[in-house]
Amino acid sequence: MATIIDMPKLSDTMTVGTVANWLKNEGATIESGDVIAEIETDKATMELEAFEEGVLLKQIAATGAQVPVGSPIAAIGEAGESVEIEASPAPADESEEKVEPDSEPTKESADSDSSHPPAPASTESDPAKPSSERIKASPLARKLAAQQGIDLVQISGSGPNGRIVKKDLEGAAVTRGTAPASAGSGAGIAKAEEVPLSQMRAIIAERLQESKREAPHFYLESEIDVGGLLELRKQLNAELAELTPEEGGVKLSVNDFILKAATEALRRVPAMNRSWARTSIKQHSSVDIAFGVAIEDGLLTPVIKNADAKSLKTIAVEAKALIAKARSKKLSPNEMSGSTFTVTNLGMYGVSVFYGIINTPNAGILSVGATFARPVVRESGNIEVGQIMKIGLSCDHRVVDGAVGAEYIQALKKILEHPALIFL
């Protein structure tokens, strides 16, 4: 009897998965452990392994289909064995559309709604050229084509039986330019394009809205002179550049220093290393620090586990590996969960100061801005050029009070302005 493979739950928050790509075709011989497909979740693209041996009898879910967790996506069994489950032909954002009939409506169906009289006869001069009304296309594709002024007659469909689906319009939309204004709407008025929400973008929106709604944020800001840190980084990178990766060579970024310093500050102010648990507050014994990585679909926050027990160089190596995985959507659920604090850095974009939304249930998120050269007055009274970085701290007032947040910023400032403390 055929074994049905269901959509697995690949992350704690996953409710549906998208079949990004089939790596095994129907009829292929499958061995236990073979990767048969790539599944896109709300966080990453994961490999789907088969744990049964046999033949891939059916790809129940088509490439691009969104499938709820626990619903069937494939069947494996013996060659020639029949599978009764219907395939899912609909791509991700068209999974609930109904396939339009190829034939014209009957007279009974046309007469049943007198408010919609029959369309006038086609005036097309070329009888061999089909009209847009007779082209096989999904309802969503028709709607988008009408909004963007695209002639479906010119489009080749990639769906079942040559049916035009949404993705077939993407190239046409790029070359077509601005959609023509409809009659009477005013010449030259362009229509806004509707961009469908990706799974990741929808989850990000839901979580950020929940954080702002449930976690009472308050904000603290400080300026830090990181001239000494930049000089130390320069010296260390000069030494490390002479080593191969196998010998421990690595290029340290400013963000590596910030992650290490933020970790050390949490060790010094453990009241900031807490999380909200609704009926209690969790005091974490280790620092599991998350950091933001921007990707095309949004933002991922990989986690460096037990960062308080790791050196600056180890944190740098792990951070680089996690960034590479994040950008290729290869992060595992474990690599994105269990954080106790989060760091987000927009300094590379020239942003001077900002305040991130808390990555709940963390008690806070550290926002790091760019470094600018600016005159500063030293304790001696001398005016010198300082390398000033502004940081913002967003705190959950349910977990910490202003004094705790201030103590944390004070500890972080001391470490960053005296970076040798990182190595203690």
Residues identified as active-site: 397
- Tokens 């390398």 found at: 387
Distance in angstroms (rounded) separating the CA atoms of residues 152 and 400 = 58
**Does the CA dihedral 369-371-376-380 come out positive or negative?**
positive
DSSP 137: B
Backbone angles phi, psi at 393, to 5 degrees: -125, 120
Distance in angstroms (rounded) separating the CA atoms of residues 101 and 81 = 31
3-state secondary structure of 300: strand
Q: How far is CA 62 from CA 26, 90, 100, 284, in A?
A: 12, 7, 18, 44
Q: Are 423 and 312 in contact (CB under 8 A)?
A: yes
Q: What is the bridge-based pairing of β-strands 54-59 and 303-304?
A: unpaired
